[in-house]
Chains A and B, each alone.
Chain A
Amino acid sequence: MTTSVQPPLLELMGVHKSFGHYAVLKACSLDVKSRETVVIIGPSGSGKSTLLRCVNLLEPPDSGNIFFDGADITSDLRNATEIRRHIGMVFQNFELFQHLSAVENIMLAPMKVSGISRADAHDIATDLLRKVHIPEKADFFPDELSGGQQQRIAIARALAMKPKLMLYDEPTSALDPEMIREVLDVMAELSSEGMTSIVVTHEMGFAKRAADQIVFMENGEVIENASSEEFFGGTVNERARRFLDQILH
């Protein structure tokens, strides 16, 4: 990891988001450096998903700025579609396209967004299936795959666009315990290869293994933002400590 003065890949500055009168995000700020993995934890309803959805402009922030790759992406929301090509997202419920096979799920965006030929898209998909360790499931449909396999295909689908940043929203929360490992392993491998990532998860084992930075959110605010060493070294904010005690028991 470089410690040069290059600006962060992603920078959130005072992001606000309300639904009606209900403020879901209050002045959230966050820096994510290139090649870094940030883990976000926090109680349900604290705004973690909304924060991720603001980053790729699925939810446009009400105020504040988001800089991605050197540009303020909140300045003109008409560019949202273009921005999203460079930011991969993985969902709790996988959301694989049900009418497409695993390999077709991965090929769709390269073909329809980047205009890559079917043959080239197939090559990209085949490589990625190997990367997520299930080349043999290429022609299976989502409803024929286990949750862990589906989530790994979903990761491959996002990677097919060669994103600069990956967003994971509780990627293992919908999985049976025995499948959590295979998904976290793939994510940790990507992180160690330098894939910049933001991961909302309560898997503290993964955080210990892969995170450079840990963020604790509560009631729409970033309460704690610590390096992995600080966080696991014990210098943790009181509220974060209490939350950790809850999820670890």
Chain B
Amino acid sequence: MSLELVFDYLVSPAFFHGAMLTLLITATSLLFGIIVGLVVALLQESRFRFLQGSTLVYLWLFRGTPVLFQIIFIYNVLPTFGIRLSAFVSAVIALSLNEGAYMAEIIRSGLQAVKKGQRTAGLALGMTRAAVMRYIVIPQAARIILPPIGNQMIGMLKTSALVSVVAVEELLLVANQTASSNFRYFEALTAAGIYYLALTTLFMVFQYFLERSLDPKRARRSQKSVPLLDRLTLITQQTESR
């Protein structure tokens, strides 16, 4: 084994590019996943049976099949219907739709955790249903759902490795290809592992600051706030692997 080679891989354009692609896939899929999840959660709250029914079918399909299946399906089956997408776009669509199904559940439980009386109070002040949602329900739900969404973020980073199956040059595929050309698996995978850990850490720090920015009392309680390192260990313990 050679630490020098690990270092060479770390700074090589191929690995760096792979890591950036992993980050891009993860961030894009998360963003669309949250949007899909929010839309689905709001549709589930709607009074129209048809919309409620459609969301149930969507949740059933995307929670009932493996992500790997969904990635392969979108990349390989859609072209037979004339929809031709690049591997990257197929991967992001599959991951977003899959993520959306889980996000919907998280967001819905967050919205429901805000008691009915809070909405009534908003309506009684003359606010519209939309304003009540925006200024009363969603801000309170956001604080409730942030920890589980943080878990999803880190989960997505790891799930993104699955898109190597449709030959997107993300981190794990780069590492695997590099290793299979010279059989230096230890060095290539160590380099990839270091990148994954760096990205996970980045996400945890991001989550920490997001949670802090959503805490309305932070201004007066800044002295009492828990140190970053303690928070990170806490988040790590909460995060379950997928």
Binding site for B on A (CB under 8 A): 56, 58, 81-89, 91, 93, 95-101, 108-109, 112-113, 139, 141, 154, 157-158, 161
Could you show 12 A-B contacts with beta carbons less than 8 Å apart?
A81-B127, A84-B123, A86-B126, A93-B117, A98-B140, A99-B140, A99-B143, A108-B136, A139-B220, A141-B216, A141-B217, A154-B121
Residues of A within 8 A of B136 (CB): 97, 108
Q: What is the 8 Å Cβ interface bit string for chain B, positions 105-146, against chain A (1 contact, 0 not)? A: 000000000000110111111111001000110011001000
Contact B135 A112 (CB under 8 A): yes
> In the complex, which of the residues B121, B126, B216 contacts A81, with contact meaning CB atoms closer than 8 Å?
B126
Q: What are the residues of chain B within 8 A of A98 when measuring CB–CB?
A: 118, 140
Query: What B residues does A83 contact at CB under 8 A?
Result: 126
How close is A155's CB to chain B, nearest CB, in angstroms?
12
Known: A91-B120, A97-B118. A158 touches B125 (CB 8 A): yes
Chain B contacts of A101 at CB under 8 A? 216
- Complex Cα gap A93–B143 (Å): 22
Q: Which residues from B are CB-within-8-Å of A87?
A: 124
- Where the two chains meet, the residues of B that have a C-beta atom closer than 8 Å to any C-beta of A are 117-118, 120-128, 131, 135-136, 139-140, 143, 216-217, 220
Whether the pair B121, A84 counts as a contact (CB closer than 8 A) is no
A91 x B125 contact (CB < 8 A): no
Task: Report how far A33 CA is from B124 CA in the complex, Å.
Answer: 21
Whether B123 contacts A58 by the Cβ 8 Å rule is: yes
Chain A residues with Cβ below 8 Å from B135 are: 108, 112
Given known contacts A99-B216, A108-B135, A113 and B127 CB-to-CB distance under 8 angstroms: yes
> Is A95 touching B216 in the complex (CB atoms < 8 A)?
no
Given known A-B contacts A91-B120, A113-B131, A141-B216, A99 and B139 have beta carbons under 8 A apart: yes
Name the B residues within 8 Å of A91 (CB-CB). Answer: 117, 120-121
Q: How far is the CA of A88 from the CA of B126 in the complex (A)?
A: 9
Are A100 and B127 in contact, with the CB atoms below 8 A?
Answer: no
Measured CB to CB, the nearest residue on chain B to A114 is B126
Distance between A164 CB and nearest chain B CB, rounded to angstroms: 12
Assembled-state Cα–Cα distance A62/B17 (Å): 66
Q: How far is the CB of B54 from chain A (nearest CB, A)?
A: 27
Pick the contact of A84: B117, B126, B140, B220 (CB < 8 A): B126
> What residues on A are CB-neighbors of B139 within 8 Å?
99
CB proximity of B82 to chain A, nearest CB, Å: 45
Task: Name the one of A99, A100, A108, A139 contacting B125, with C-beta atoms under 8 angstroms.
Answer: A108
Rounded to whole angstroms, the CA-CA distance of A100 and B220 in the bound complex is 14
| Bound: A112/B127 CA distance, A | 8
Q: Is the CB of B120 within 8 A of A58?
A: yes
Contact partners of B122 in chain A: CB under 8 A: 97
Of the residues A109, A141, A154, contact of B127 by C-beta under 8 Å: A109
Whether A81 pairs with B220 at a CB distance below 8 angstroms is no
Identity of the chain A residue whose Cβ is nearest the Cβ of B124 in the assembled complex:
A89
On chain A, the residues within 8 Å of B220 by CB distance are: 139
Contacts of B143 in A (CB 8 A): 99
**A161:B125 contact, CB within 8 angstroms:** yes
Chain B residues with CB below 8 A from A84, complex form: 123-126
Closest CB in chain A relative to B121 CB, distance in Å? 4
Question: Is the beta-carbon distance between A58 and B125 smaller than 8 angstroms?
Answer: no
Closest beta carbon of chain A to B87's beta carbon, Å: 42
13 additional contacts (CB under 8 A) given A99-B140, A109-B126, A112-B131 = A82-B126, A85-B125, A87-B124, A88-B125, A89-B124, A93-B117, A95-B120, A97-B118, A108-B136, A113-B125, A139-B220, A154-B121, A158-B125
Bound-state CA distance A82–B152 (Å) is 41
Bound Cα distance from A82 to B117, whole angstroms: 20
The verdict on A81 contacting B128 (CB below 8 Å), with A99-B140, A100-B216, A112-B135 known, is: yes
Q: 7 smallest A-B Cβ distances: which pairs? A: A85-B126, A95-B121, A109-B125, A89-B124, A84-B126, A95-B117, A113-B126
By a CB distance below 8 angstroms, the chain B residues around A154 are 121
Chain B residues in 8 Å Cβ range of A96? 121
Which residue of chain A has the shortest Cβ distance to B136 in the bound complex? A97
